[in-house]
Chains A and B, each alone.
Chain A
């Protein structure tokens, strides 16, 4: 029962993640909102905000295609295929935090907690400025820690 609840929890976040990611044109690592105070000279927050809203490059678009494929494998619990595809997605778009988030999921389901935590940390690093993603990443971390 407990296991079933965890899987439901994980799948819920996966679907939620997928729904959010499909709506954004820019990739999940392009930066986001910040509450740091404004300053005359460029602060950290301004740097992120002033970063041009980059249109996804063909390489990034191809990477997102692979991310979608990997997500489908994950939903089918084909973890090996999901991991392979995500590793390829990373080679095309190393800065997309979503790939690391999904890798953390796959490794957690494979019960490799060390790897899962490592990729969870990476996901956090790339998606830190996105509050919605951070909530999911923190929930994932709690889920992984429970598996210890």
Chain B
């Protein structure tokens, strides 16, 4: 009894100790679990801080984009159809054979274009998408009619073209979209193919994992991934692509943490803006917004259901399923997505049948390339004063400029063709080294507003980034003469006679004798003819009569940054100027005496459409309009019968004012020409100042003509209005006095300033007097 009690006691002690041991083990396990749980909770809390930091701050670095100006079209407008088609192609309009029925499609016919315009907005202003027919009559737009309403469209704005992106080191292109802008069919397509239980799991989907595992075991290969959208986001956004166990655990923990702290809609929005959708050249296409634009040329909210399905299909292997790579494979994959949507009940049988039968119709393939590189460099100089490189590569700003891409293309082509032709016709101009090749530059401006429409700073940007329009300093030669003649207009008239007799001038103790390019018999000639024929000797005579100080003062008023000295050779352009300054100075003539400030940047807009900066047309009156008109009139003579007369032979048969320029030893060839609407400067020469042996009329003028013929939309073919302060008189061609009709052998109409017009009848010709005998008597009008 005692023994059994003892045994019982002993066994009770053993049981007790066993129980306490078990309890301890359990306690330890619980403790470890609790500690582990706390550790995981703490780790997740730490992760949540990181996630919060990433999600609350700027989630992505969005490169800022530089855009061209909008293009205006209107009935009656002359147009270069080749350039217009190229522009529409660059804008991603997709050519179709049937009538365009979705935004971004275009059908080009012989005499018309049917286009379903894309909508666009700049700073909350823009134009909605609608179908339009542009009817052409030869090279003119005959009419523009909306195909949906039959309404006539009197004026149309075509959206700006993307010229360049300010990339950061990662070279990612992305357009952010809000979940509210994303159509349901796109969300359904993505969920159907990537994570159909997205709204039912807490970030990790055990059912999905088991299903994926089973599928993979059955097929003997990895067919299905078990990652949820949240896991994919965690992987893309926070982790490296390493395939390690610890990284997978971390991915699960981040996914669960994200689900705890964020709503499903937020997660989906971030995911859709984050994912990789393929390559555009060297640049990666990220996010649904950029993908919608790249593949279908439209914003995400305007995607059609079959396009949404195609994009959702890309997520798995963007480059393999890219419609640009293999349209057939893309279609197979898209139909797989459509089938998944059907299975989830997000698509009806009928819709599935309709959509899966459609081909994949993409936008035109566009690689990333820097358009108008010299102009972009010029704009960058201004933009970089406003924003740091870091801001430009991350803030996603839209920078709108004045560039007209059609004019830019015409200018680039004209310079390329022109220089090649010169080399072909003049073998001495060829160089073996590309760096030493014949160079050129073109600047096209709107004279009244100062807007830069095109800038070509050299023959090939890849060879040389030196901008010969903005950075070079070259002697302007005779292109400076109009400013010299302008300074004389207070005292001299277009009929005033200038001496053309050789003369030696003393400069700093040295003799200098100006020479004409060709020997001339005339000992004196009128101011108009001296400028039209660009006569050096007569021009120096005019400068000396006017006073060199006054000539220099005039030039300084035109904002040339060169320090000028009052030497007689100033009148022949012996100092150096920046070509852009020369073009700007000429604008004052073309703009009725108003000099604009060159304008290249228009608006800087942030991601939300808020305007951050605006640049406006800034002008100042520099020359009296009547004097500007007189110079225009004299420069028209230069084109009609002077040094620029070959222009007509190139098909320029409308009124133009222009001036050629050739410097000493033929180092530089210039032509500056303009109408009231457009001004273009062309320079040709070698960077090392080798002689080209050609005049401005031979080398630069043909390039100018080629350019202007190709931008008919900027030329109205009308002449300048006659301003107040101008009178017209019939004058004797020989004396410059008022002509005696029927007596003077040759008379012509001449334009004068009202306060400086001839007031006496011809002294050379008078009835009863022998021809050529001067009449001393002054006769009033």
Contact = CB atoms under 8 A, between A and B. Distances in A.
Contacts of A66: 155
B723 A125 contact: yes
Interface in A87-137: 87-88, 90-92, 94-95, 115, 118, 121-122, 125-126, 128-129
B648 interface: no
B241 to A, nearest CB: 47
Contacts of B625: 125
B125 A81 contact: yes
A29 B721 contact: yes
Contact of A44 (B594, B621, B724): B724
Nearest to B591: A94
- Bin the interface of chain B by size: 35 or more
B727 interface: yes
Given A62-B154, A83-B616, A91-B677, A44 B76 contact: no
A103 to B, nearest CB: 8
B39 interface: no
Contact of A62 (B155, B448, B781): B155
B447 A58 contact: no
Contacts of A84: 602
Contact of B614 (A61, A80, A121): A80
B145 to A, nearest CB: 16
A42 interface: yes
Interface string A49-79: 0010010011111100110000000000000
Contacts of B616: 83, 87, 115
Interface in A15-54: 29-31, 39, 41-44, 47-48, 51, 54
Contacts of A39: 781
B649 to A, nearest CB: 26
B617 interface: yes
B487 interface: no
A35 B781 CA distance: 19
A128 B724 contact: yes
A62 B74 contact: yes
A140 to B, nearest CB: 17
A59 B77 contact: yes
B73 to A, nearest CB: 9
Contacts of A58: 74-77
A44 B726 contact: yes
Contact of A94 (B154, B448, B726): B448
A34 to B, nearest CB: 9
B619 interface: yes
A95 B676 contact: yes
Given A47-B726, A87-B616, A65 B738 contact: no
B725 interface: yes
A65 B725 CA distance: 31
A90 B727 CA distance: 26
A2 B594 CA distance: 35
Interface string B503-530: 0000000000000000000000000000
B635 to A, nearest CB: 17
B730 A54 contact: no
A61 B720 CA distance: 17
A29 B676 CA distance: 14
B722 interface: yes
A122 B754 contact: no
Contacts of B754: 44
B727 A44 contact: yes
Contact of B730 (A41, A61, A129): A41
15 contacts: A41-B781, A44-B754, A51-B721, A57-B716, A58-B75, A59-B74, A59-B716, A60-B716, A87-B449, A91-B446, A91-B448, A91-B451, A95-B592, A118-B621, A125-B625
Q: Which 7 A-B pairs have the closest CB atoms?
A: A58-B76, A62-B74, A42-B728, A94-B448, A59-B716, A65-B155, A44-B727
Interface of A: 29-31, 39, 41-44, 47-48, 51, 54, 57-62, 65-66, 80-81, 83-84, 87-88, 90-92, 94-95, 115, 118, 121-122, 125-126, 128-129
Interface of B: 72, 74-77, 123, 125, 154-155, 446-449, 451, 591-592, 594, 602, 611, 614, 616-621, 625, 676-677, 716, 718, 720-730, 738, 749, 754, 781
